């Protein structure tokens, strides 16, 4: 190693790895959890570029969702029915795995339901979506084992205190989690099993050999028998042939709001915009569709065009009666591709990847981690 590591550090901390995982997001840590649960003797290290995870897993909105009607209609424009069905199943089963791995209490899972809302000016669009409810209930029913998933519930609108919303589709099986608590629980679970997480450790290059993976990092070189790339949006930086491109998501959160009537996870505009309550605050994010080109970036940043549109929706539609302060803003980066399906595969001898969560990695991440772990021949 190029640093001043002692013999002891090199022997105990930095060598002898069976598997090295690149990226400490939900996918990388779930892969570590799955490997350690199956084979407790494995020595596993996770190399993370950020001080905290710097991708999406600690930055997201915490929707435990599997698709709003308009979002699914949109996905059917890109993928065939069987492909979209497979994705929905991944999301649902992924959420079940997340809840089983960590427990509902640790991740603050609450099933307040999901609501897709439409403004008065969007009645034709709402009609198109409402007409598709029977189709999607039939498609999704066997996948998630529940009847009547989506239903119109316009009487709910009056309870929410929103302005200008005239149509609402309710999904009673959707939930929400506390993203920070989820990741903290995952980190402590894998560390409790003996997995080492190295932060501020950016992999710069992977030298993949027949019996050994050498990961060149800013802290020196790490070696293992196998390695897993779990860097999602950043996937193509290390393996350029992967079809993954970034999509930045911007988010804001308000101060606590007295008497907040909104409870649950809300979808607007084909899934591009979303909001929910976090206790008595509103978390609101999205708007990537307003500026696709600028948001196709790995760079952190927030922009006026998107923040102003989020604020407009917040003040004019979501909490129109109240003067509310925005307390905090941030962004995270998602991994998209030409195809909707995530990439979970063996890249070469000893090198595997699980990337491209297409903006739904809270839902499917735990399962993708397990799937990639199961590919490894140990």
Ligand X SMILES: Cc1cc2nc3c(=O)[nH]c(=O)nc-3n(C[C@H](O)[C@H](O)[C@H](O)COP(=O)(O)OP(=O)(O)OC[C@H]3O[C@@H](n4cnc5c(N)ncnc54)[C@H](O)[C@@H]3O)c2cc1C
Residue nearest to ligand X (CB): 55
Comparing CB distances to ligand X, the nearer of 136 and 275 is: 275
Q: Using the minimum distance from each CB to ligand X, give the nearer residue, 26 or 310.
A: 26
> 78 vs 218, which CB is nearer to ligand X?
218
Please give the Cα distance from 245 to 349 (Å, whole number).
25
Distance CA 118, CA 124 (A): 10
- Give me the least distance between CB of 120 and ligand X, in Å please: 26
**For 368, which DSSP code?**
H
Tokens of 225: 């028998």
The CB-of-218 to ligand X minimum distance in angstroms stands at 9
| Alpha helices per DSSP H over 13-170 | 26-38, 69-78, 81-102, 104-107, 123-131, 133-144, 157-160
Which two three-digit tokens encode residue 357? Answer: 């969560």
Nearest CA to 63 out of 251, 229, 293 is that of: 251
Residue 343 Cβ vs ligand X, minimum distance, rounded to whole Å: 11
Considering beta carbons, is residue 119 or 267 the nearer one to ligand X? 267
Q: Is there a contact between 277 and 262 (Cβ–Cβ < 8 Å)?
A: yes
CB atoms within 10 A of CB 42: 19
Q: DSSP character for 255? A: P
Q: Given the complex with ligand X, which of 129 and 364 has the nearer CB atom?
A: 364
Where on the chain is the footprint of ligand X (CB under 6 A)?
Answer: 22-28, 47-50, 53-57, 59-63, 202-203, 230-234, 238, 249, 251, 285, 332-334, 357, 359-363, 365
- Min separation Cβ 333 and ligand X, Å: 6
Cβ 124 to ligand X, closest distance in Å?
Answer: 27
The CA dihedral of 40, 342, 296, 325, to the nearest 10 degrees, is -70
CB nearer to ligand X: pick between 28 and 130: 28
Joined together, the tokens standing for residue 336 give 């998209």
Q: Within the chain, how many helices (H) and strands (E) appear?
A: 13, 18
- Using DSSP's 3-state secondary structure scheme, residue 81 falls into helix
130 vs 376 by CB, closer to ligand X:
376
The count of other CB atoms within 10 Å of the CB of residue 224 is 22
CB of 62 to ligand X, least distance (A): 5
Q: DSSP letter string over 27-45?
A: HHHHHHHHHHHH-TT--EE
Q: What is the dihedral of CA 330, 333, 339, 341, to 10 degrees?
A: -90
Whose Cβ is closer to ligand X: residue 183's or residue 376's? 183
* In the complex, minimum distance from the CB of residue 247 to ligand X, in angstroms, rounded to a whole number: 8
Measured from the CB of residue 30, what is the shortest distance to ligand X in angstroms? Answer: 8
């Amino acid at each position: 190693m190029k640093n001043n590591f002692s013999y002891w550090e090199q022997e105990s901390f930095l060598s002898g790895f069976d598997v090295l995982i690149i990226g400490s997001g939900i996918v990388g840590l779930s892969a570590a959890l799955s490997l350690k649960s199956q084979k407790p003797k494995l020595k596993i290290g996770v190399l993370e570029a950020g001080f905290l995870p710097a991708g999406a897993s600690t930055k997201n909105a915490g929707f435990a969702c599997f698709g709003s009607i308009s979002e699914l209609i949109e996905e059917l424009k890109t993928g065939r029915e069987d492909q979209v069905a497979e994705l929905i199943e991944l999301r649902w089963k992924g959420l079940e795995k997340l809840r089983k791995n960590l427990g509902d209490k640790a991740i603050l899972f609450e099933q307040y339901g999901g609501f897709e809302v439409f403004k008065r000016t969007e009645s034709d669009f709402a009609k198109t979506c409402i007409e598709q409810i029977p189709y999607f209930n039939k498609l999704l029913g066997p996948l998630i084992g529940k009847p009547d998933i989506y239903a119109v519930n316009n009487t709910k609108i009056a309870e929410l205190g929103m302005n200008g919303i005239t149509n609402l589709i309710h999904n009673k099986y959707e939930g929400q989690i506390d993203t920070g608590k989820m990741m903290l629980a995952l980190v402590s679970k894998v560390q409790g099993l003996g997995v080492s997480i190295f932060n501020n450790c950016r992999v710069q290059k992977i030298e993949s050999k027949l019996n050994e993976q050498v990961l060149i990092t800013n802290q020196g070189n790490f070696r293992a028998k196998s390695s897993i790339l779990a860097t999602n949006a950043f996937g193509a930086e290390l393996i350029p042939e992967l079809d993954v491109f970034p999509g930045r998501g911007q988010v804001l959160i308000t101060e606590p709001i007295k008497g907040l009537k909104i409870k649950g996870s809300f979808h607007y505009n084909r899934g591009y915009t979303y909001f929910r309550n976090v206790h008595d605050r509103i978390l609101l994010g999205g708007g990537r569709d307003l500026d696709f080109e600028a948001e196709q970036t790995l760079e952190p940043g927030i922009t006026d065009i998107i923040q102003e549109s989020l604020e407009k929706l917040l003040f004019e539609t979501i909490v129109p009666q109240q003067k509310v302060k925005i307390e905090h803003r941030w962004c995270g980066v998602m991994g998209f591709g030409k195809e909707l399906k995530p990439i979970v595969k063996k890249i070469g001898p000893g090198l595997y990847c699980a990337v491209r969560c297409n903006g739904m990695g809270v839902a499917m991440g735990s399962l993708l981690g397990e799937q990639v772990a199961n590919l490894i021949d140990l």
